[in-house]
Amino acid sequence: MKSEVLISQLEFNPFSMIGEEGFLISAAKSSQVALTTASWGLMGFLWGHPVVTVYVRPSRYTCDFLRTTDRFTVSFFPHEHSRVLEYCETHRGWDVDKLAGSGLTDERIGDYVVYNEANLTFACRKIYMREMDERLILDKSVAAVYYKEKDVHWSFSGQIEHVYI
């Protein structure tokens, strides 16, 4: 069972946790769960609320879930569970049940999917989403490197409603 904490009680470095360690983004539609590994994201304040913004390519199974559901979670894991992130990065949700294959133990808290193995989970209510526009990327080398296949990310911003440890 996860414990809920106040966001003000957290001490962590989002730059290392997001950019170096990676995390899982999860969303649920009734009994189905979609999850994907990510290493791009932002944390801060938007419209007076603490938010997490994540980026997911439309070719990812999870993107469809994020577009059509109201809530998602962002989960961080201790180093001994790095194989979970690798598994979820190298397998497609279109082809396999990543939740079953990952070995994670999920728990539903309302509309949120939380994992017993995670050491930190942000439960977010989606407040904004948008397909990124490649024409608005000012550094053209970014598009040349990351969008050769024209699989431009969608961004999803969620107001942090709960934090679980």
The residue segments making up the domain with residue 31 are: 4-164
Which helix (H) or strand (E) segment holds residue 158: the answer is strand 154-164
Return the structure tokens found at 76: 């961080």
CATH number of the domain that residue 53 is part of:
2.30.110.10
Is the pLDDT at 16 greater than 90, yes or no?
no
- What's the CA gap between 55 and 20, in Å, rounded? 16
pLDDT single digits (tens) 33-67: 999 999 999 999 999 999 999 999 999 999 999 99
Report residue 31's pLDDT band, with 50, 70 and 90 as the boundaries.
confident
Domain total in the chain: 1
- pLDDT of res. 126: 98
Is the pLDDT at 148 greater than 80, yes or no?
yes
- Is residue 2 a contact partner of residue 85, using CB atoms and an 8 Å limit? no
Is the pLDDT at 1 greater than 90, yes or no?
no
- pLDDT of res. 21: 87
Report residue 69's pLDDT band, with 50, 70 and 90 as the boundaries.
very high
- What's the CA gap between 48 and 69, in Å, rounded? 22
pLDDT single digits (tens) 149-161: 889 999 999 999 9
Q: Which position has the token pair 């949120």?
A: 112
- CA angle (50 as vertex; 48, 56 as ends), nearest 5: 120
Report residue 2's pLDDT band, with 50, 70 and 90 as the boundaries.
confident
pTM: 0.94
pLDDT single digits (tens) 81-129: 889 999 999 998 889 989 999 999 999 999 999 999 999 999 999 999 9
